[in-house]
């Protein structure tokens, strides 16, 4: 990347030792202009994306560079800056806004595991999981709804996020994330089975019998807790309770299908 003049800039903005908002934007624009102007039209997108991130040795540096390139921006005193806090402080609710704000991150992550031309630069599922965890928790953890939206937009990411949580015995966390995915899909008005059934079935088939029971048990407990909280909130929010009931109705046939495999 020497000819782009971006090396010196990255050496200043990636370590994040001082505030360099204008240099972050300059690095973003140069990298996108030189290497990523062909999104959706050229299978080299995943290759360049992967290659650029591989210039950084640590996971922390890779995650920070990823957000500099693809994260949301805001206008501050008439200048564009990376919005490092948006996805941690504000839930992006509408499907259209999620496509606009979170979609570029989903697309770019997915490109690094779906591009057949990556060769030695390909990212394993485990590497993508670690990068996912880095970008969604640093500098602050995203809202769970925003994280769920990131996964829904590219279901392969959903598979990775849920599968590795269960593998690492974080079953309750996986079940909570699954419940949030269902909630986001309901809010978007997306038909449930078409959106996630194949991914969840693929995960479920890979689990042992005890893991399947544990996952379903955790999910049903979270579902019951959500209904209980909606019922006991004071003042009572009838609409919230109805939404939780609607989500349960939409998901129940699929949960019953999963239950036949335990």
What is the CA angle 89-57-108, rounded to 5?
Answer: 50
**pLDDT given for residue 3 in this prediction:** 47
How many other CB atoms are there within 10 angstroms of residue 28's CB atom?
23
Q: What percent of the chain has pLDDT above 70?
A: 92
How many other CB atoms are there within 10 angstroms of residue 156's CB atom?
16
CA–CA dist 88, 67 (Å, integer): 13
* Secondary structure (3-state) at 142: coil
Q: What is the secondary structure of 55-75 as a DSSP string?
A: TS-SHHHHHHHHHHHHS-EEE
How many other CB atoms are there within 10 angstroms of residue 112's CB atom?
23
Q: What is the largest CA-CA distance in the chain?
A: 62
Residue tagged 């504000």 (tokens): 90
* Phi, psi for residue 234 in degrees, rounded to 5: -120, 120
Q: What is the pLDDT of residues 63-104, one digit of tens each?
A: 999 999 999 999 988 889 999 999 999 999 999 999 999 999
Is residue 18 over pLDDT 60?
no
Residue tagged 């994330």 (tokens): 177
* Domain residue ranges of the chain, discontinuous segments joined by +: 1-153, 154-262
What is the token pair recorded at 177? 């994330």
Q: What is the pLDDT of residues 125-154, one digit of tens each?
A: 999 999 999 999 989 999 999 999 999 999
> Which is more confident, 132 or 22?
132
CA–CA dist 107, 45 (Å, integer): 10
**Side-chain half-sphere CA neighbours of 237 within 13 A:** 12
**pLDDT given for residue 102 in this prediction:** 98
Query: In the chain, which ranges are continuous DSSP H helix?
Result: 7-13, 21-35, 45-53, 59-70, 86-89, 95-101, 103-114, 125-135, 144-153, 155-167, 171-188, 192-206, 209-232, 238-259
pTM for the whole structure:
0.92
Ramachandran class of 77: left when φ > 0, alpha when ψ lies in -120 to 50, beta otherwise: left
> Which is more confident, 200 or 35?
200
């Amino acid at each position: 990347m020497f000819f782009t003049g971006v090396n010196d800039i990255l050496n200043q903005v990636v370590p994040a030792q001082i505030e360099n908002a204008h240099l972050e934007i300059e690095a973003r624009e140069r990298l996108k202009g030189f290497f990523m102007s062909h999104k959706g039209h050229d299978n080299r997108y995943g290759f360049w994306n992967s290659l650029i991130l591989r210039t950084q040795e640590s996971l922390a540096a890779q995650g920070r560079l990823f957000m500099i390139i693809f994260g949301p921006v805001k206008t501050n005193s008439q200048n564009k800056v990376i919005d490092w806090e948006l996805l941690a402080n504000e839930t992006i609710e509408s499907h259209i806004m999620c496509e606009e704000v979170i979609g570029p991150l989903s697309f770019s992550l997915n490109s690094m595991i779906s591009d057949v031309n990556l060769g030695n630069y390909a990212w394993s599922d485990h590497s993508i999981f670690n990068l996912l965890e880095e970008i969604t928790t640093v500098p602050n953890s995203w809202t769970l709804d925003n994280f769920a939206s990131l996964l829904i937009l590219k279901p392969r990411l959903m598979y990775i996020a849920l599968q590795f949580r269960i593998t690492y015995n974080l079953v309750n966390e996986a079940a909570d994330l699954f419940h949030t995915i269902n909630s986001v899909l309901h809010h978007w008005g997306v038909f449930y089975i078409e959106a996630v059934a194949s991914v969840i079935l693929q995960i479920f088939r890979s689990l042992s019998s005890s893991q399947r029971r544990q996952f379903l048990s955790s999910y049903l407990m979270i579902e019951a807790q959500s209904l209980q909280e909606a019922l006991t909130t004071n003042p009572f929010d009838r609409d919230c309770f109805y939404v939780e009931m609607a989500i349960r109705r939409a998901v129940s046939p699929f949960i019953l299908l999963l239950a036949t495999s335990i």
